[in-house]
Chains A and B, each alone.
Chain A
Amino acid sequence: MRIARYVPYLVGAAVAATFPLFSGAYLEQVAGATLIYLTLALSWDMLLRSGQLGFGTAGFFGLGSYAAVLLFLNVGVQPFVSIIFGGIVAGVVALLLGLAVLRLRGMYFAITTLALAGIFAVVLRNFPSLTGGAEGKMLPSCIFSGDTANVYWLILVVAVMTIVISEVFERTRIHVALTSIRNDERVAKSSGVNVFKYLVFVFAVTSAIQGIAGGVYAHVFGFVSPEGSFSANFLLLPLAMALLGGIHSTWGPVIGALVLGALSEYLKLQIPYGHLLVYGAIIVVVILFLPQGLSGAARAWRGRSHAARGAR
């Protein structure tokens, strides 16, 4: 019976790993984009598990993009190295920012992170000789010369890595620490949890993940720009995905990403302009009516049907 539990995961992993073998370039692109958003949604949720609401995903994503591209163009390292560098830069900036800002939580932290995308964009724009200013920078070629299958596998690796890190956060002492901080900081503090250290740590790690996603994206599309790399899409979609799928878990954001990733393609064809409105509406509706998301609703429904079966 134990093996039966793992079957869905194994099937899912098999499908994911072999996806390019039975799909064309268009589907691979959609899947790739979905997996990028999945990475962002999951990393956002990981911070949320500590009780902190961060709006910085687009900011660190763009920062990672620029860091990767600038290192690649100016120092000539391998694309993979530059992507890791993008993650490191994002992580370090988050670390420094977190040390400064995480002593005040709640709306102060939320709004500070909300401002990040704009601030990073402005700062980068102010060094046009290095960053290309408002025009941004183009890469001589895209990674893998644009081969969508290889691109897909690269993004898949990043997504899987993020899922693994998220599970580590769920199954080790980190889970107990973050949940205790989220539920009641005073109790956590009085029980020996170094709250500040954990918050800064989680903020830095999740921002680094977002930076890596940004680095990958930059190499896949071959350019960075203040408008494009810091687009609000990279904040709006991940949040909608995580909320819809169910926060505070690994598989909630994954499900949300898969559902909305597929949906977004459909929406883009139906409502070319302003289809993003749907995501804003999803956020509002989920907060008001479905705070546990789809996975939470499924869990509740399963619990209720179990209880009913037991009563019989």
Chain B
Amino acid sequence: MAVLRTESLERRFGGLVAVHDLTFELAENEILGIIGPNGAGKTTAINVISGLYMPTTGRIFLGEDEITYAPPHVRCHMGIGRTFQLVHPLVDLTARENIMVGALFGRNQRLRQARKTAEEIAAKLDLEGIDRSVSDLTVLEIKKLEIGRALASNPKVLFLDEVMAGLNSDETKAALDAVRRIRDQGVAICVVEHVMSVIRDLTDRVVVLDGGTIIAEGPYSKVSADPRVIAAYLGEEE
């Protein structure tokens, strides 16, 4: 059974249809890529699935449970984790406390447990000096923080929204390894990316969004050769 499934998801903003007829599945231990030109609705789709927006129509299932109208914090408890495209570290908390938010409230741990969980997750992501204030962190460290906070809530499904942007080749390689390690621990991952080499090397399957709906689906090799996808936008190979 798929760990995440959507059925004809639609989200309107007044007259604008941001996402429509969105139907796809995410299997356990799968890494799914979501690509598409700017404005295709990728982040909106994540917002709807993670609960920041309610769908106008359609349904969402996490395993056997329907989560279509569940509030975002409940979806987090049930196993949905996500990062944000424009990184939003919580500036008045230390780096450790940032990660602890996920552990305390997504996983409902005690304070001492959460402190340790934050340490463990930071170690896994090669993040050091976590008792520093957020303003002292580099951009790369803040990205790791974002992922760490999402991981801390022990998700079954993790959405990574354009985390590879702005990384050099070494950092990208390390990031790919980290994502694969997360997958190996039993988390299904959905990666939204513009960097095509990442999609090519990382994902098992790709879904292409354009104008709010899926125009192609399949392994990267098949999708990247699809004339409709090429027509929708010219992906950049790095």
Indicate whether A and B are direct neighbours in the complex (CB within 8 Å). Answer: yes
A-side interface residues toward B, CB under 8 Å? 172-173, 176-177, 179-180, 182-184, 186-195, 248
Interface of A is mostly: helix
User: Which of B54-62, B87-95, B179-187 binds A?
Assistant: B87-95
B92 touching A191 by the CB < 8 A rule? no
B91 contacts which chain A residues (CB < 8 A)? 183
In whole angstroms, how far apart are the Cα atoms of A180 and B101 in the complex? 8
In whole angstroms, how far apart are the Cα atoms of A195 and B92 in the complex? 17
B-side interface residues toward A, CB under 8 Å? 50-52, 71-73, 76-77, 81-82, 84, 88, 90-93, 97, 100-102, 104-108, 111, 114, 149-150, 152-153
A193 touching B88 by the CB < 8 A rule? no
A194 contacts which chain B residues (CB < 8 A)? 71, 73, 105
How many residue pairs link A and B with beta carbons under 8 A? The number is 84
A190 touching B72 by the CB < 8 A rule? yes
A191 touching B76 by the CB < 8 A rule? yes
B84 touching A192 by the CB < 8 A rule? no
Given contacts A173-B114, A194-B73, 20 further A-B contacts (CB under 8 A): A173-B111, A176-B93, A177-B101, A177-B104, A179-B93, A180-B90, A182-B92, A183-B91, A186-B52, A189-B51, A189-B71, A190-B50, A190-B81, A191-B152, A192-B101, A192-B102, A192-B108, A194-B71, A195-B73, A248-B92
Output the nearest chain A residue to B46 by Cβ-Cβ distance. Answer: A190
In whole angstroms, how far apart are the Cα atoms of A60 and B101 in the complex? 32
A176 contacts which chain B residues (CB < 8 A)? 93, 97, 100-101, 104-105
A187 touching B52 by the CB < 8 A rule? no
In whole angstroms, how far apart are the Cα atoms of A22 and B75 in the complex? 59
Output the nearest chain B residue to A181 by Cβ-Cβ distance. Answer: B90
Nearest first, the 10 closest Cβ-Cβ pairs linking A and B are A192-B106, A192-B105, A192-B76, A183-B90, A189-B72, A193-B105, A191-B101, A191-B102, A184-B88, A194-B73
B90 touching A189 by the CB < 8 A rule? no
